[in-house]
Amino acid sequence: MVLGDLRLPKGTWFEWHRHPQHQIAWTPETVLAVEAGGAQWVLPPTRALFLPGGVLHRTGAIQGGLLRGIYIEPDRCPGRWESPTMLRVGPLLRELLEYLADDALDAERRLRAEAVVFDVLEPVRAVPIGVRLPVDDRARKVASALIADPADQRTLDGHASDVGASARTLARVFQRETSMSFGRWRTQVRLRAALPLLAEGVPLAGVATRVGYSTPSAFVVAFHREVGISPARYFAA
């Protein structure tokens, strides 16, 4: 394994790139975001992301903080996943990654610690949030308005007059160009906006209101339906 630390200012994103090595993207502090394959992962310190070698991706700092990249040669990796996979970072894995960041470690101790890392890697069954933007100018204006204000409660009928297209036309465009109904696409936008707020510790009621849900329970139901686990489990320490 090769470990590299880089401190990123708030809002910084790397350009899209790929590399032949596998990568585990993790931050020991604040929140990290990774985009790959049309999906977005928001990672608190209790979560990391395994990126197979060759996958096109970009990494960013939502709040600013330390990015730790752990790079692994594919032929030296005893196990792997074929697609980006979220990992649980429990106390043992966290301590091992901190231990391996010490440049003074000799080769023998490093190899023993790396072997334990592979033993404790544990995937989390969670679906990432993905928001593909429509290409059509009219639908894209609707999409941009919702990304700017996820709590916007207007239906497609409410947006139609502003963009010069009927609600039926907009619905067809969203389905064709995003592979989602407009309703599900809007849910994904709301959940993507909610993840950084949850990671910052904003109370659930405040998060729900800021992204367009009338009650915390309605938000939790939508989150569980789309992601596969509850917000509490997603950010569990």
DSSP 54-121: T--EEEEESS-EEEEEEEE-GGG-S---SS-EEEE--HHHHHHHHHHT-TT--HHHHHHHHHHHHHH-
Within this chain, do residues 19 and 105 fall inside the same structural domain, yes or no? yes
Q: In this structure, which amino acid lies at residue 77?
A: C
- Among the three residues 123, 146, 164, which one is the final residue of a domain in this structure? 123
What is the pLDDT at residue 153? 93
Domain count, the chain: 2
Q: Which domain holds residue 52?
A: 2-123
Based on the domain organization, do 110 and 172 belong to the same domain? no
Q: What is the pLDDT of residue 132?
A: 83
pLDDT at 21: 95
Examine the domain organization and report whether 113 and 66 are in the same domain.
yes
Instruction: Give me the sign of the Cα torsion angle 110, 111, 112, 116.
Output: positive
Q: What is the pLDDT of residue 237?
A: 56
Q: Are residues 148 and 229 part of one domain? A: yes
Burial of 152: CB neighbours in 10 Å, binned 0-12, 13-18, 19+: middle
135, 174 in Cβ contact below 8 A? no
What was the pLDDT predicted at 39?
79
Residues 75 and 11 in one domain: yes
Shared domain for 115 and 24, answered yes or no, is yes
DSSP-based three-state secondary structure for 200: coil
Q: What's the gap between Cα 216 and its chain centre? A: 21
One domain, residues 227 and 150? yes
Question: Tens digits of per-residue pLDDT, 36-94?
Answer: 877 788 888 889 999 999 999 999 887 778 888 899 999 888 777 889 999 999 999 99
Query: Which portions of the chain are predicted below pLDDT 70?
Result: 237
Q: Are residues 177 and 225 in the same domain?
A: yes
Residues 45 and 83 occupy one common structural domain = yes
Do 154 and 216 share a domain, yes or no?
A: yes
CA-based max dimension of the chain: 68
Helices then strands, each counted (H, E), the chain: 9, 9
CATH at 159: 1.10.10.60
- Let me know if residue 132 belongs to a domain: no
